[in-house]
């Protein structure tokens, strides 16, 4: 313990010194400044390099070698520095340098709401920074990482940790690399350097990046490889995941609030998420197979990314801004990397909670037999693995926490009380109906409970067996009745997990893709395009065939399963635990609520079909208002792409569509508060004589609109309306 204390007493000042050198390098104005930083970094590297040589084989010879290396680098370095150094600029106090530069450069005026990060103080260093070559920056980054590695190696050896020294060269090299970079000496020192350099540069870095960098430091601190203690691994996985989720929420919210962002920010976001995807995959491999190589490479990648950012920090605001929505591939990569990171995060939490039995319990098919059988087995194994993780309670909890936070943000900006209440219910339903009750309360007999156990219809909880027929039929009866009374919104906008996934601020802000993406455009309006017909037919027919096979297999008439798994259950996993997520991350190419717009969900189709003939519809108080309405905001706000809303309101005063899932964004978006929901509640009020004329209801005062482009003022109690965009 005492030894550990003394080692950290050396490591921490080294981290502080390195962070200070990084700052010096960033603020350097002349080649001499660079030379001094490089010299000090080289000296540190030679010092720790010498220590490693000695500690690997302590002897007089290795001591002489260590001292010799040190001397050569120190002397050579001094000659190099003296060649360039012109005092006193490198030794100016940091505050003096800052003051100097503040007087020399213009103050920028970006703000986070304008799509660039708020820089807080100094602008780009302009000409000065241009003088620094890429080579010198790369050299500083490489030397910092080399220093960390050699210092980590020194302390790993000094603390008596086991390092493999026998075996082939590559085995020893990889093992040493894994042990050193995965150790507390490397990781905690890096965390300290990252946080410290960000602190030292706090006046020089955009504030939003400071938040991101500090969050990155926290995520990295919880590296499970850092401490060799059985309690550390589960604690670090849980806390590191929580920190990463918080960071992702921050990034999503940033994007929601800022459409226009610079190329540097776009690049950093995607690169960071790629590093996180690799990091979570690396921790997964480390926990399952014991190899930390991918994890430590991702740590190095993240460090390179971090240093590159702070060396080019002025570009965060000065590079060209562009709407991130105008780059579908960027959005797709961002979402795909997020998903990969979260997939492995979910798997890790599952392993921590259930133990490694979670993975060994996954049913896998042996890859053997004829070529088609092998292809089938590979497909089966992939979907089985994928679906087990995405269908697991902890993946859903983790995903729910993240997307639920975005729904909370949406509630804060939603105007309609009914939509606010529905969004609250979405969160409650997700955690109680989709996770808590089926996973933790009724997990053993959930298949016997209608509606709760069979939320996605046939296949949800198992085979179409006689013992479950009552629960399955009961499910369709309950969900169908609710859809008749309240519309398909009871499923697609409330009970289904999709409601939480699609209705948070960030995903909802991408509904423009419904009108701009290639496939999205083909799926617009209530019309059943040929693409929709094909997908919906496939979904229904495949479900009916799977249900029939499942039933016949269950009663013993045939003996047919898919590699030992009930066909209807496998189809459920394929549709809802795999394909659904693919469609979700493909929002930039398909639009939002792809499960509805493509018709790929058979339970959704069932409810939407019933709803079409039920009581639910959208109505307007005054169709004439829609005629004169210039914005048609209701159509723009629909996350399902029902752009035929205004036409229907004008022709009939109401809107009915099998695709309408009653999200209600159109109601909130109407600048005239002209639109309202009609369902069994309105119907009953009409029957008992209350609220028989919605147009007579007093209107609430509203200023502004959501999702619209014009500015409106609507006065209470009358139809009087002032629209700044219309005379
Ligand atoms: S279509 Fe299906 S998956 Fe999509 S929201 Fe409706 S029930 Fe959920
Ligand atoms: S935004 Fe309102 S007024 Fe305009 S078309 Fe839609 S429902 Fe009618």
pLDDT, tens digit (0-9, with 9 covering 90-100), for 442-467: 888 899 999 999 999 999 999 999 99
How far does the centroid of ligand 2 lie from the alpha carbon of residue 629, in Å?
6
> Looking at residue 205, what is its pLDDT?
77
Cβ pair 630, 568 in contact under 8 A: no
How far does the centroid of ligand 2 lie from the alpha carbon of residue 722, in Å?
15
> Looking at residue 250, what is its pLDDT?
96
Q: Quick one: which of 95, 115, 112 has its CA closest to 204?
A: 95
Q: Ligand 2: which of 672, 694, 705 to mutate, judged by most atoms within 8 Å of the beta carbon?
A: 672
Q: Let me know the angle formed at the C-alpha of 217 by 213 and 218, rounded to the nearest 5 degrees.
A: 120
- Identify the band that residue 114 occupies on the pLDDT scale cut at 50, 70 and 90: very low
For atom 5 of ligand 1, the residue with the nearest CA is 492
Helix intervals (H) in 355-457:
357-360, 371-390, 393-413, 417-429
Ligand nearest to the CA of 649: 2
Integer Cα distance of 703 and 711 in angstroms: 8
In this prediction the pTM is 0.83
Stretch 472-483: mean pLDDT, rounded?
Answer: 97
| pLDDT tens for each residue of 521-571 | 999 999 999 999 999 999 999 999 999 999 999 999 999 999 999 999 999
- Of residues 45 and 576, more confidence is placed in 576
Q: Ligand 2: which of 627, 633, 708 to mutate, judged by most atoms within 8 Å of the beta carbon?
A: 633
Stretch 120-140: mean pLDDT, rounded?
Answer: 59
> Looking at residue 97, what is its pLDDT?
43
Q: Which atom number of ligand 2 is nearest to the Cα of residue 623?
A: 8
Integer Cα distance of 562 and 463 in angstroms: 12
Ligand nearest to the CA of 624: 2
Q: Which residues lie with the beta carbon below 6 Å from any ligand 2 atom?
A: 620, 625-626, 629, 632-634, 646, 649, 670, 672, 674-675
| pLDDT tens for each residue of 499-517 | 999 999 999 999 999 999 9
- Identify the band that residue 12 occupies on the pLDDT scale cut at 50, 70 and 90: confident
Integer Cα distance of 593 and 599 in angstroms: 10
Integer Cα distance of 689 and 709 in angstroms: 38
Integer Cα distance of 108 and 612 in angstroms: 55
The span from the first CA to the last CA of the chain, in angstroms, equals: 79
- The burial of 399, by beta-carbon neighbours within 10 Å (0-12 exposed, 13-18 middle, 19 or more buried), is given as buried
- Identify the band that residue 674 occupies on the pLDDT scale cut at 50, 70 and 90: very high
- Of residues 718 and 223, more confidence is placed in 223
| pLDDT tens for each residue of 165-210 | 677 888 888 888 899 999 998 999 999 988 888 888 888 777 888 8
Integer Cα distance of 377 and 673 in angstroms: 55
Q: Is the pLDDT of residue 663 over 80?
A: yes
| pLDDT tens for each residue of 361-406 | 788 888 888 999 999 999 999 999 999 999 998 999 999 999 999 9
> Looking at residue 575, what is its pLDDT?
96
Q: Which residues lie with the beta carbon below 6 Å from any ligand 1 atom?
A: 491-492, 496, 498, 595-596, 601, 603-604
| pLDDT tens for each residue of 300-355 | 999 988 888 887 766 666 667 889 999 999 999 999 999 999 999 999 999 998 88
- Identify the band that residue 698 occupies on the pLDDT scale cut at 50, 70 and 90: very low
Cβ pair 492, 498 in contact under 8 A: yes
How far does the centroid of ligand 1 lie from the alpha carbon of residue 601, in Å?
6
Q: Which atom number of ligand 2 is nearest to the Cα of residue 674?
A: 2
> Looking at residue 89, what is its pLDDT?
46
For atom 6 of ligand 2, the residue with the nearest CA is 634
Residue 618 pairs in a beta bridge with 655, 677
Q: Ligand 1: which of 422, 429, 430, 496 to mutate, judged by most atoms within 8 Å of the beta carbon?
A: 496
Q: Which atom number of ligand 1 is nearest to the Cα of residue 576?
A: 3
Residues 6 or more apart from 537 whose CB is under 8 A from it?
A: none
Q: Is the pLDDT of residue 54 over 60?
A: yes
Q: Ligand 2: which of 629, 667, 671, 673 to mutate, judged by most atoms within 8 Å of the beta carbon?
A: 629
| pLDDT tens for each residue of 410-444 | 999 887 888 899 999 999 999 999 999 988 888 88
For residue 253, what is the enclosing H or E element? helix 232-257
């Amino acid at each position: 313990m005492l030894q550990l204390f003394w080692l950290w007493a050396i490591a921490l000042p080294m981290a502080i010194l390195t962070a200070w050198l990084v700052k010096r390098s960033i603020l350097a104005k002349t080649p001499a400044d660079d030379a001094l930083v490089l010299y000090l970094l080289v000296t540190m590297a030679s010092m720790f390099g010498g220590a490693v040589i000695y500690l690997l084989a302590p002897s007089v010879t290795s001591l002489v070698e260590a001292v010799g290396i040190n001397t050569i680098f120190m002397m050579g370095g001094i000659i190099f520095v003296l060649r360039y150094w012109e005092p006193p600029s490198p030794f100016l106090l940091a505050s003096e340098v800052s003051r100097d530069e503040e007087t020399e450069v213009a103050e920028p005026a970006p703000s986070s709401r304008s799509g660039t990060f708020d820089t807080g103080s100094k602008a780009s260093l302009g000409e000065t920074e241009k003088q620094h070559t890429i080579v010198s920056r790369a050299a500083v980054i490489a030397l910092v990482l080399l220093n960390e590695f050699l210092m980590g190696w020194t302390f790993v050896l000094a603390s008596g940790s086991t390092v493999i020294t026998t075996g082939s060269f590559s085995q020893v090299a990889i093992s040493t690399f894994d042990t050193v970079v995965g150790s507390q000496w490397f990781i905690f020192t890096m965390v300290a350097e990252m946080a410290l350099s960000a602190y030292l540069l706090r006046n020089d870095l955009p504030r939003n990046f400071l938040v991101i960098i500090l969050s990155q430091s926290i995520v990295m601190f919880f590296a499970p490889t850092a401490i060799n203690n059985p309690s550390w691994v589960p604690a670090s996985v849980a806390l590191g995941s929580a920190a990463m989720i918080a960071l992702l929420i921050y990034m999503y919210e940033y994007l929601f609030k800022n459409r226009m962002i610079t190329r540097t920010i776009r690049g950093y976001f995607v690169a960071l998420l790629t590093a996180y995807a690799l990091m979570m995959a690396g921790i997964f491999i480390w926990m399952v197979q014991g190899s930390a190589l991918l994890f430590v490479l991702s740590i190095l990648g993240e460090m390179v990314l971090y240093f590159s950012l702070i060396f080019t920090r002025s570009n965060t605001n000065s590079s060209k801004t562009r709407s991130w929505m105008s780059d579908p591939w960027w959005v797709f990569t961002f979402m795909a990397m997020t998903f990969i990171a979260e997939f492995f995060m979910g798997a890790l939490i599952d392993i921590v909670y259930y133990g490694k039995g979670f993975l060994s319990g996954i049913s896998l098919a042996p890859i053997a037999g004829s070529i088609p059988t092998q292809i089938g087995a590979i497909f089966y194994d992939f979907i089985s693995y994928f679906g087990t993780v995405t269908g697991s309670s902890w993946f859903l909890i983790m995903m729910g926490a993240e997307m639920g936070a975005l729904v909370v943000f949406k509630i804060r900006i939603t105007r309609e009380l009914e939509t606010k209440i529905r969004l609250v219910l979405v969160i409650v339903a997700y955690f109680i109906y989709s996770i808590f009750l089926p996973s933790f309360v009724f997990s053993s007999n959930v298949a016997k409970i209608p509606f709760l156990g069979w939320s996605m219809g046939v296949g949800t909880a198992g085979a179409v067996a006689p013992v479950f027929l009552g629960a399955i039929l009961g499910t369709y009866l309950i969900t169908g009745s609710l859809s008749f009374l309240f519309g398909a919104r009871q499923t697609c906008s409330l009970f289904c997990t999709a409601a939480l996934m699609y209705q948070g601020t960030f995903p909802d802000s991408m509904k423009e893709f419904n009108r701009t993406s290639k496939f999205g455009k083909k799926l617009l309006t209530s019309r059943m395009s040929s693409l929709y017909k094909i997908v919906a037919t496939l979904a229904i027919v495949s479900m009916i065939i799977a249900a029939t096979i499942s039933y016949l297999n269950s009663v013993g008439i045939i003996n047919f399963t898919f590699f030992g798994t009930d066909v209807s259950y496998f189809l459920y996993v394929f549709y809802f635990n795999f394909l659904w997520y693919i469609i979700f991350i493909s929002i930039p190419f398909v639009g939002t609520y792809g499960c509805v717009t493509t018709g790929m969900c058979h339970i959704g189709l069932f409810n939407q079909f019933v709803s079409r003939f039920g009581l639910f519809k959208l109505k307007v108080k005054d169709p004439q208002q829609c005629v004169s309405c210039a914005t048609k905001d209701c159509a723009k706000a629909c996350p399902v792409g029902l752009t035929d809303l205004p036409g229907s309101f004008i022709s009939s005063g109401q809107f009915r569509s099998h695709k309408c899932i009653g999200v209600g964004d159109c109601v909130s978006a109407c600048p005239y508060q002209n639109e309202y929901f009609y369902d069994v509640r309105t119907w009953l009020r009409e029957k008992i004589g209350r609220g028989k004329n919605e147009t007579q209801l007093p209107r609430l005062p509203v200023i502004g609109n959501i999702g619209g482009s014009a500015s409106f003022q609507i006065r209470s109690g009358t139809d009087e309306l002032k629209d700044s965009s219309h005379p």
